[in-house]
Amino acid sequence: MLAIPRRVARVATAGLLVALALAGCSSPQGPSVTATPSGRASPTPTGPAVPGGADDPAARAAALVKELDDAELVGQVLMPSVSMSDPGAADIVRSYKLGGVILMGDVQDTGAGGSAGQVRAYTDRLREAAGDRVRFLVGTDQEYGWVTRIKSGVVQLPSAMAFGAARKPDLTEAAWRGAGAELAAAGIDIDFAPDADVIGSAGNFIIGSRSYGSDPAGVSGQVAAAVRGLQSAGVAASVKHFPGHGHTTVDSHTGLPVLRQSMSQLTANDLPPFQAGIDAGVWMVMAGHLDVRAVDPGVPATFSRKVLVDLLRQRMRFQGVVVSDALNMSPARKYPPGEAAVRSLMAGVDLLLMPPDLTAARAGLLNALNKNRLPRARLVEAATRVLTLKLRLDATQRPEVSTVGNAANRAAAFAAAVGAVTVLRGPCSGPLVRGSIRVTASAGRTRQVTWLTDALRRNGVTVVSTGGQRVHLVGYGDGSDDLVSGAAATVAMDTPYVLRSASSPVRVATYSSTQVAMEALAAVIAGKAAAPGRSPVAVTGLPRSACQV
């Protein structure tokens, strides 16, 4: 039975249609508390503040921004990347008066307190370098699935597509709340997630399992749940990639994707999850490097005032922080770094992510400010929105690292992973494969083989190294050449599309290759758990589920 609350998506879509009808109406230019369709203020970790009151983050930010000089204002709108292997990051934070950074590079556990403790110690050093005048922000890309920076030491959720297969927004919210609390304990303020892209009917291998699926209503419910979960834990969510990267075939890292949908198609298929995130009170929206032909032909959304102001702010009524996608990506490099920074800020971006040359970006902004090409009021507006976000985050006390890895968070992740497991072909009760099992995988997936082998044995299954019934794992980037003949079961650990080419009598999707996904898979294979998932994308020749309608 379909568990997605379609009422949530209908409200989001209806709200969007009403907003689009108000094309001539302007929203307030300064940041303020966003209103939901019911008229309630956006949720903050300690409840909504009274707009304009002494505790209103926007009012406090408007007062605080007056204390900042030009260099400090520019520092608030720049967010370069750092990695834990970079010994000079603290000096950069100090000398450029930065308001925040994005932590890039995979963070693995190297011992001595685990990766959460290591990240917390590193981010504490950056905050010390920044001083205590205003909060220093640390963001990262922790989407889970195959875009995950902190890969150990904190709870690992399944991918977005796995949550889409589970179809339980309440489960999504609980899992993201637990994960958000662990990110906060590790020193993370912003998670550039969830992905609000809706996969097109032809599939999309650029976004893939980062998306919750192909149904705008289902994706809307999942996005709203993830936003609520993260932000209730004191971590700012950032829905992306506005206005939608799902109906594309070009990777925006290397080229400029073109959205050829009409405005009505965008409204029906791509924008509802973003509106759902806004209605759920999301504090950030990431603009994609996307050519939206129905709105501003030829201009990437990150440089388009028509997309970011006319559509996102005025029509969809978003009042939080607009962050660019990484400015070191190909579409943004059509301009020199200083020029790209100025153009993006003028278009409506408030936070400039990962400029390819920080010195040039900073100099470009200061030069444009001095020559009145960049109105100071626009810079102040952007900085005020960033400061408002910081003050919202200040309302929540950061958890201690000792809280990371608690049983409740692990249980929420496991429940989501089990809920996602989908049998697209095979039995719907009892063990999926009977007798002894041999686990194999496409090249480079030895960890998954080990995880599944150990989990199967814990579930009472005999696992052998030769002979037996073969369970074959395929994952991200794998195709038909990575399948094997004669396997009793083929398991897709990323998007399920490859299963259409498999010949196995049992075909299963987990949508993720994390350890918790392998533990969930083992329980299903052993017949200890049902497979309640339903594929959120269509696979040619196979049902969405052999067991669920």
Q: Which of 56, 141, 296, 325 is catalytic?
A: 325
What distance lies between CA 537 and its chain's CA centroid?
A: 19
* Separation CA 293–CA 492 (nearest Å): 35
* Separation CA 474–CA 494 (nearest Å): 8
Q: Which of 55, 106, 170, 253 is catalytic?
A: 253
137 DSSP β-pair partners: 100
For residue 365, how many other CB atoms are within 10 A of its CB?
Answer: 26
**Of all helices (H) and strands (E), which one includes residue 509?**
strand 506-509
236 DSSP β-pair partners: 190
Instruction: Give every CB contact of residue 496 below 8 A, 6+ residues apart in sequence.
Output: 422, 424, 509, 511, 535, 537, 539, 542
Burial of 87 (0-12, 13-18, 19+ CB in 10 A): exposed
* Separation CA 193–CA 183 (nearest Å): 12
Contact call for residues 471 and 432 (beta carbons, < 8 A): no
Cis geometry, peptide bond prior to residue 194 (ω within 30 degrees of 0): yes
For residue 539, how many other CB atoms are within 10 A of its CB?
Answer: 20
| 174: its two tokens | 């609980």
Amino acid at position 467, single letter:
G
For Cα atoms 355, 117, 87, give the angle at the middle one, nearest 5 degrees. 45
Give catalytic status of residue 253 as yes or no.
yes
* Separation CA 354–CA 187 (nearest Å): 19
* 3 state DSSP class of 544: coil
41 DSSP β-pair partners: 35
Give catalytic status of residue 325 as yes or no.
yes
490 DSSP β-pair partners: 472, 507
Burial of 530 (0-12, 13-18, 19+ CB in 10 A): middle
423 DSSP β-pair partners: 508
Burial of 258 (0-12, 13-18, 19+ CB in 10 A): middle
Instruction: Give every CB contact of residue 380 below 8 A, 6+ residues apart in sequence.
Output: 65, 73
* Separation CA 168–CA 28 (nearest Å): 35
**Of 8, 489, 477, 479, nearest to 221 (Cα)?**
8
**Of 382, 491, 388, 329, nearest to 134 (Cα)?**
388
* 486-506 core/surface letters (b: 16 or more CB in 10 A; e: else): ebbbbbbbbbbbbbeebebeb
Question: Which amino acids are annotated catalytic?
Answer: 253, 325
